[in-house]
Amino acid sequence: MANTFNAEDIPVITPTFRLQWEQVQDCYVILYPEGMVKLSASAGEIMKRCDGVMNISNMINDLHKQFPGADLENDVYKFLEVAHANGWIRTKQAV
Amino acid sequence: MPMAGSEQNKLSKPLWLLAELTYRCPLQCPYCSNPLEIARYDNELSTEDWIRVMRQARAMGATQLGFSGGEPLVRKDLEELIAEARHLGYYTNLITSGVGMDEDRVKAFKVAGLDHIQISFQASNEELNNFLGGTKTFQHKTHMAHIVKKYEYPMVLNIVLHRKNIDQIRDILDMTIDLHADYVELASTQYYGWSRINVDQLLPTRAQLDHAEQVAREYQQKMKGKMKVIYVIPDYFENRPKACMNGWGAIFLTIAPNGTALPCHAAGQLPGLEFPNVRDHSIEWIWNDSPDFNKFRGFDWMVEPCRSCPEKIKDFGGCRCQAYMLTGDARNADPVCDKSPYHKQLHDDVERIGKLADNKEFNEKPLIFRNMKNSKKIITERQAETSELS
Ligand code: SF4
Ligand code: SF4
C-alpha cells in the first residue's frame, strides 16, 4: 500500500465522525453511530489539528511548538494512516 | 455509608444511555424485545424528567445516547429532547422504524443536531416486511432511507434475522446497498420479550445460519471500506455466552418509558428486583448505590461453574435474563455456556425446534404479534395464573 498522505495534504475529519473533548474521561474521543474510541494524548493532539485548514507539514510544525525536541514526524504519519484506515479522516480536496 | 463494591462503581461510568421514550409503536413485530407487559407503561416520563435524566447521566460521563422505544417518533417532544441532548454534548442516535417520519421532521432533527439515524427493516420485500411488522410500511421506510441520506446522516439499517427472513439475506444486503447504508446490522433475534413466546416460529435452523453467515462474510469482503456489515451469530448456537452488556451495571443504562432504570433493556423481567425509578432517585444514586445495579456487579455474586471459572473476566457469566429464563435463577451461568448443567437442555431444545422447522403445520402456527391488545391479554392471563397459585 502506498503512503496515503504527503506533507501538503490537508486532512479533515470525515463528517460522519465527531471529535470531542471528554472532561470525565480526561481525553479526546471519536464518536460515531453507537460507538466511541478513546484517543491517547498524542493521538488527540493530532486529530485536533485535522481541521481542514492545516496541511500536514504545518501540523507537524505546530506540534513541535507544543512538544519541542520530540521526533514527531513518523508518529504523525503513522497515526494518520490508522485514522484514515478507520475512516475518521480524509484528504480535503484542494479548491 | 459507602457500600461494598463502591470502589469499583466509582470506576465504571454509564457511557451508554438508552432512552426508551415510549412503548407505543405503530408496528407489531413478533420478535420485539420490549417486555410483554408494554401495556403497563402508559405512565410516561415528561419532557422535564427526560432532560433531568440526560443532564445527570452526562455529568457522570455518558456520551452515547439512544432514543428508542417502542417508536420514539411517537413522542411530540423528540425534537426538543434531541436539541437538549446535543447541547449537553451527547452523540445522539435515533433508533426508529421510520414510521412517523417525514422530510420536515428529518430536517428539524438536523437543525436540532441529531447525529445518526438507524432505521429497522423487517425484510427485503414488501410483502414479508409488512406481514412481520403487522402494518404496511415498506414503501415508506425505503423513502425515508433516501431522505436520511439526502440530509447526510450516517445511516444504519437494522434487520432482525429469524427463520422467516434469514434465507433472504442476500436480497436484504442488496437492498441496503441500494439504499446507501453506511452500516448494516444483521441482528439475531434475542429470545426474550415477544420473541421468547414466538421462539418456535422464529428460531432459525443450523443450515439457515450457515448459509447466512457465508453470505454475510461475502458482503463484508465485497463492501469493505464502503458499507460495514455487522453480523452476529445467535448465541443459542454457541458454546460460550456473550459478555452481555459488557457486564451488569458496567456501561449501559436503560431508562424505560415510565422512568424505571435498568442495567439492560430486558432486565425488567427479573424477579426479586425492584429497579429504582428516576422520578424518585438521581442517576448518580441509581448507578453507584442502588442495590439492584450492584446486584450482579463484579464477581462476588456468582455461583458455580462461573465462580471458579477463569473465563468469567471475559464474559461475566453471560446474560442474567437468559440465565433466569432458562434455569430459574439469574445467578446461574448463562446456559449458552457448555459448562452450564442446563446447556444440554437448551441444546436439545434448539435441536427439537430445528427438526420441527420443516414441518408445515408447526411452522404455520400463528405468531403472537406485539401490540397493546395482546399485552393486556397476557397480563390478565398471568394475573389469573398467580392468583390460582396463591
Ligand atoms: S421491534 Fe417492531 S414492534 Fe418492537 S418497537 Fe421496534 S418497530 Fe416497534
Ligand atoms: S462457566 Fe460462567 S464464566 Fe465460565 S465460561 Fe461459562 S458462563 Fe463464562
3-class DSSP assignment, residue B361? helix
All three cell numbers of B382, joined, read: 398471568
| B216 contacts: CB under 8 Å, gap ≥ 6 | B169, B173, B186, B229, B231
Nearest residue in chain A measured CA to CA from B225: A87
A19 beta partners: A30
Tell me what pLDDT residue B116 has. Answer: 93
Task: Name the band, by pLDDT with cuts 50, 70 and 90, for residue B159.
Answer: very high
> How far is the alpha carbon of B147 from chain A, nearest alpha carbon, in Å?
16
**Rounded-to-integer distance, Cα B350 and Cα B152, Å:** 43
Return the ligand number nearest the Cα of B134.
1
> How far is the alpha carbon of A70 from chain B, nearest alpha carbon, in Å?
32
According to DSSP, the β-strands at A27-32 and A35-38 are antiparallel
Please give the full DSSP string across B210-237, using - where no structure is assigned. HHHHHHHHHHHHHTTTT-EEEE---GGG
pLDDT tens digits for A58-82?
Answer: 999 999 888 887 788 888 999 999 9
Distances (CA, A) of B315 to A34, B8, B237, B303, B388: 21, 17, 16, 14, 39
pLDDT tens digits for B142-157?
Answer: 999 999 999 989 899 9
Please give the full DSSP string across B12-70, using - where no structure is assigned. ----EEEEEEES--S---TT--S-TTGGG--SPPPHHHHHHHHHHHHHTT--EEEEEES
- Is it the case that residue B353 has pLDDT exceeding 90? no
Domain boundaries, chain A: 10-86
Tell which B residues from 75 to 94 touch A, by Cβ distance under 8 Å: 89, 91, 93
Tell me what pLDDT residue B42 has. Answer: 85
Note if the bond before B70 is cis, omega within 30 degrees. Answer: yes
Q: Which helix (H) or strand (E) holds B294?
A: helix B291-294
Region A40-57 average pLDDT: 93
Buried b (16+ CB within 10 A) or exposed e, B75-96: beebeebbbbbbebbbbbbbbb
Task: Name the band, by pLDDT with cuts 50, 70 and 90, for residue B6.
Answer: very low
Tell me what pLDDT residue A59 has. Answer: 92
Residue count of chain B, please give it: 390
Measured by CA distance, the residue closest to atom 1 of ligand 2 is B306
Q: Are B181 and B156 in contact (CB under 8 A)?
A: yes
**Rounded-to-integer distance, Cα B336 and Cα B311, Å:** 14
Q: Mean pLDDT for chain A?
A: 88
Nearest residue in chain A measured CA to CA from B149: A16
Q: Which residues of B touch A22 (CB under 8 A)?
A: 61, 63
Q: What ipTM does this complex have?
A: 0.82
Tell me what pLDDT residue B123 has. Answer: 82
Q: Does B368 lie at the interface with A, CB-CB under 8 angstroms?
A: no
Say which CATH topology domain A10-86 has: Arc Repressor Mutant, subunit A (1.10.10)
- Residue B33, CA atoms < 13 Å, CB-side half-sphere: 16
pLDDT tens digits for B321-341?
Answer: 888 888 888 888 888 888 988
Residue count of chain A, please give it: 95
pTM across the whole model:
0.87
Q: What spatial distance separates the first Cα and last Cα of chain B, rounded to whole Å?
A: 38
Q: Does B183 lie at the interface with A, CB-CB under 8 angstroms?
A: yes
All three cell numbers of B87, joined, read: 447541547
Q: Does B13 lie at the interface with A, CB-CB under 8 angstroms?
A: yes
Q: Are B386 and B378 in contact (CB under 8 A)?
A: no
Q: Are B242 and B319 in contact (CB under 8 A)?
A: yes
Measured by CA distance, the residue closest to atom 1 of ligand 1 is B32
